[in-house]
Amino acid sequence: MRMKKKPAYTVAVVGATGAVGTEMIDVLEERTFPVGTLIPLASSRSAGGTVTFRGEAIPVQVLSKDSFSGVDIALFSAGADISREFAPIAAKAGAVVIDNSAAWRMESDVPLVVPEVNEHDIANHKGIIANPNCSTIQMVVALKPLHDRARIRRIVVTTFQSVSGTGKEAMDELMTETQDLLSFKEATPKVYPYQIAFNCLPQIDDFLPSGYTKEEMKMLNETRKIMGDRSIQVTATTVRVPVYVGHSEAVNIETEQKLTANEARAILSEAPGVRVFDDPAHKVYPMPLDVAGKDEVYVGRVREDESIANGLNLWVVADNLRKGAALNAIQIAGCLVKG
């Protein structure tokens, strides 16, 4: 279901003052999305503030069930609880919801979309479209073109995820802990269960009885749904590292058809949303520091895995706030309105 063509749309941003919400508003402006009216919404905690859009300070409104009257597109990034409660209200009011939380992703009547991979699924929405998890988005952008050519059977992925994936308060925590430690004070973690500065935390999201975290299971379940292939096997280890912005992933794949590293690089260099950044002889490989603020998914360190017949290793890095969240959501909105 596409949207009725209009010269401009009323766009609500739920969680407008958060790390992703702020980025969403920036991306709407940068990409000159046809916004007629922007309605920044947040909890009462953030009321009284403003957000800046096209040079204008727009007051943040308190989210309520009456917030969505006349809204065409509602971008949600305020956590799963808020999405569960308010996305159906927004949809009922006539908005198309693009939800960045995990609340609706696995519902069968909610498309889970990465435009480079499965734009066609958008047509099936019933008022809510889900934006996938950040670590899944960048992986499927890099893997879909290889899957189309050689069919991926199995993925073993290990992530190095930045604190901005948790939100603004986690970015502040990394900063504060680092300052404290450099001043010979103790770090006092509040957002994370343990110190994140100068440490690695092998836990993202809650644990399930299987010993996997929810984040790790998202990488399996969401990848299958987005790729439209339930036969793909995925096993993941997701780890938080002391990086502000940019998620990195060591991705090992086994394919049905043989792909050489050169073939994989050639396929990826033609792929939408991908940049191949791979010249080891000149120390060219993607790093989170370099991709922060970039739209593309960067792939480097492409090499054949000699431990199996048809194996490849890749190093995949993207800005988790942009392609991993805000940009992907705005791209979905762009597909909706292009008519």
CB of 116 to a second copy, least distance (A): 23
* Whether 143 contacts 135, CB under 8 Å: no
Query: Rounded to whole angstroms, how far apart are CA atoms 95 and 3?
Result: 10
Which residue, 3 or 181, is less far from a second copy as judged by CB? 181
CB of 219 to a second copy, least distance (A): 11
Residue tagged active-site, from 125, 134, 147, 335 = 134
Which residue, 114 or 152, is less far from a second copy as judged by CB? 152
* Whether 235 contacts 155, CB under 8 Å: yes
CB of 320 to a second copy, least distance (A): 13
Here the tokens at position 278 are 């791979």
* Catalytic residue check, 200: no
Residue tagged active-site, from 125, 147, 247, 335 = 247
Closest CA to 73 of 131, 32, 129, 116: 129
Using CB under 8 A, list all residues that contact a second copy: 154-156, 158, 160, 174-175, 178-179, 182, 193-195, 198-203, 207, 210-212, 233-235, 237, 239, 241-244, 248, 250, 252, 261, 280-281, 283, 285-289, 300-308, 311, 313, 315
Here the tokens at position 73 are 């597109």
* Whether 299 contacts 142, CB under 8 Å: yes
Which residue, 43 or 252, is less far from a second copy as judged by CB? 252
CB of 252 to a second copy, least distance (A): 5
Which residue, 157 or 335, is less far from a second copy as judged by CB? 157
CB of 222 to a second copy, least distance (A): 15
Here the tokens at position 155 are 């993925």
Write down how long the chain is: 339
Helix, strand, coil in percent for the chain, rounding step 5 = 35, 25, 40
Which residue, 106 or 308, is less far from a second copy as judged by CB? 308
Q: Angle of helix 19-30 relative to helix 327-337, nearest 10 degrees? A: 50
Here the tokens at position 4 are 């009725």
* Catalytic residue check, 147: no
Give the residue numbers annotated as catalytic, written as ranges.
Answer: 134, 247
